[in-house]
Chain A
Amino acid sequence: MLKIKKTKLNEFIDFLNRDYSVYAPVEHGKKTTFKKIETALEIDHSAYNTSKSAKEVFFPQAEVMFKYSKEGLKVPERNEKPFAIWAIRNCDAKSLKMLDSVFGDARQHPGKDYFKDPYWKQKYDNCLVFNLACNEPLSTCFCHWFDGNPFDKTGSDVFVVETADHYIMEDISDKGKKFIDSYDKAEKADDNDVKVIDELKATAESYLGDKIDTKPLFDKLKKIWDEPVWDEVSAKCINCGACTFVCPTCHCFDVDDEGKDGKGSRIRLWDSCMFQLFTKEASGHNPRGVAVQRVRQRIMHKYNYFRDNYQVDLCTGCGRCVSVCPVNLDIREVIKKVLEY
């Protein structure tokens, strides 16, 4: 374990910037999102949960897949250095692992390049994840419902804890160890630091609300697919899709062309299972034409279908959907309702 003085973070970020394209939470307007940074001065460490999740670094809201013209097709070249992501919270770090199991491989055809997503891989593979522990979880946080906690290290290469005047760094992966070992300006962390971390962790955990056992969700959901509970759950949802856009694990997208006169781009854009058009077929047939079917799809995908395929729930309890919902549809209440039904 190493530590660097908070006042010296700029030196560390400069060092990181040499071999990596560094992304960190940056405040702009009233929002904080992950953006590419040049210096540590740009970082907003106060944002407990960035407005949008870190997924957009690797899976942007709109991304050019190729450009077309009379000369043919051209995939944009990416000459950037590998990515490093600084101050990502555990809920987002974990979500990247989940997204990687979808984009980075294919469950039906493991290892086959044909089924890998090159746009994801070129950004996510070789990236370095600095996961910043949450000293003060928010009232909307519920990571502890899904095997997480504010000091969870899953998904990190380097685990970072912010103390009064230091960042203490623990290498988790080989990649992370190799990097922080190469930084010779850090101090060694001592037993006292370990004690401080334990205290901070205990305080952080005391911020969290009641813990719910979500294990029975999977079986329960399977049983109640056809039950009227979904009408109740979805009654106030206006299908705006905000929850899916801020969600670190939602990854549905659309592919569309933009251009004219034989020249333009094929782009992919975030899409949402909340939208009626998402599944509407040209014939007019729509397998999920009714709002309640779409709300059910979102909940089922998160807590049943994804687990069926990947043995993990597609939710890290980041709580963003809770805070952005315009009609206060709290997914924690949905979970409770389903479990009690």
Chain B
Amino acid sequence: MCNNTYIPIPMKVEKILSENPDGSLRTFDLSFVNEEDKFDYMPGQFCEFSILGKGESPFGIASSPTEEGILKFTVNRTGSVTNEIHYLNVGDIVGIRGPLGNWYPLEKLKGKDVVIIGGGFAFTTLRSMLIYMLENRKDYGDITVIYGARNPDLLIYKEELAEWDKRDDLTLHLTIDTPVEGWAKHTGFVPTITKEVSPDPSAWAIVCGPPIMIKFTLPVLKELGFDDTRIYTSLERRMKCGIGKCGRCGIGSKYVCIDGPVFSFEELKSIPDAF
């Protein structure tokens, strides 16, 4: 019998970080229980996170392959599996299946300027990519990050955002939807801020966020002159099997789990129900 990709491997919860005051977003650092289970992955890939008795849900890997020994997932408490995940304590054992799906085109991005555009808690795999690029900084040109959320509380990785803001080898634009007292950065939706920042269209754009944000950011990038082949996004669907069998994540003739989740806009424009 061939190996069984449906069997999760055990991982231990090492660290839990609450990302916002109401605790709805938490980041979990997991370590491999068995040395032989360790796997390589690339920024943009995802895993199925298992809570035995509750089921499994797909999450993008938020850690970078350069952060050795751990896998990081940021989970929004919203359904029955994510609810259970939020009840986890340090030391608990969970099940992980992966890595699944494809990854951001990091090879193609070498030597190029890169614009990362993210919204809400979809910044997870973008964090993975950003850390990966910063660790291999000389391989890439200018890095611009535009990241927005409804309010400052909903921005994730706040400590890292503060650090990135201080760096002179990347430009960070943070934005919130509506004004809040004491907020000194941008105010406005991500597409609007993208237009304001007006990144050079010779760069490659990686866009990841809620469907509505992607939908309105793409025309802005097009207007700025970005070519469809140089705009990438990561799609989210309710992936179950993760290996192209169960049929849930179908968009047109593609499956998000094996053909994606990372797609160029060039690939997506011929798929009518991608957004």
Contact = CB atoms under 8 A, between A and B. Distances in A.
B60 to A, nearest CB: 14
Contact of A257 (B52, B210, B272): B52
A225 B272 contact: yes
Nearest to B101: A108
A10 to B, nearest CB: 33
B273 A287 contact: yes
A108 B258 contact: yes
A226 B240 contact: no
A252 B252 CA distance: 15
Contacts of A103: 245
B53 A252 contact: no
Interface in A246-293: 251-257, 259-260, 262, 264, 266, 268, 271, 273, 278-283, 285, 287-288, 293
Contact of A253 (B4, B237, B247): B247
A304 B247 CA distance: 15
Interface string A101-114: 01100111100011
Interface in A215-261: 225-226, 251-257, 259-260
B237 A116 contact: no
B5 A73 contact: no
Interface in A73-129: 73, 75, 102-103, 106-109, 113-119, 121-122
Contacts of A115: 5, 243-244, 258
Contacts of B241: 253, 255
Contacts, number: 122
B7 interface: yes
Residue picked from A108, A273, A297, most chain B C-beta under 10 Å: A108
Given A118-B4, A255-B240, A271 B55 contact: no
A301 B250 contact: yes
A268 B189 CA distance: 41
A97 to B, nearest CB: 16
B180 interface: no
A111 B248 CA distance: 23
Interface string B1-22: 1111111100000000000000
Contact of A73 (B7, B56, B78): B7
Interface residues of B, number: 40
Contacts of A259: 52-53
Interface in A103-159: 103, 106-109, 113-119, 121-122
A297 B78 CA distance: 27
Which label, helix, strand, loop or mixed, suits the secondary structure of the B interface?
Answer: loop
Interface in B1-54: 1-8, 52-54
Contact of A305 (B3, B79, B250): B250
A81 to B, nearest CB: 15
B258 A109 contact: yes
B82 interface: yes
A252 B247 contact: yes
A68 interface: yes
B251 interface: yes
A46 interface: no
A255 B53 CA distance: 11
B139 to A, nearest CB: 27
Contacts of B197: none
Nearest to A115: B243
B238 interface: yes
B214 to A, nearest CB: 12
A162 B81 CA distance: 53
A75 to B, nearest CB: 6
A222 to B, nearest CB: 9
B7 A271 contact: no
Given A121-B2, A225-B272, A262 B244 contact: no
Contact of A106 (B238, B251, B258): B258
Contacts of A68: 52-53
B6 A65 contact: yes
Given A257-B52, A283-B78, A309 B247 contact: no
Contacts of B4: 75, 118
Interface string B245-263: 1111011110000110000
| Interchain residue pairs A-B with the least CB separation, the first 3 | A252-B247, A282-B79, A308-B253
19 contacts: A66-B7, A102-B245, A106-B258, A108-B258, A108-B259, A109-B258, A113-B2, A115-B5, A255-B6, A266-B55, A268-B246, A279-B248, A280-B238, A281-B236, A287-B237, A287-B251, A287-B273, A300-B252, A305-B252
Interface of B: 1-8, 52-57, 76, 78-79, 81-82, 210-211, 236-238, 240-241, 243-248, 250-253, 258-259, 272-273
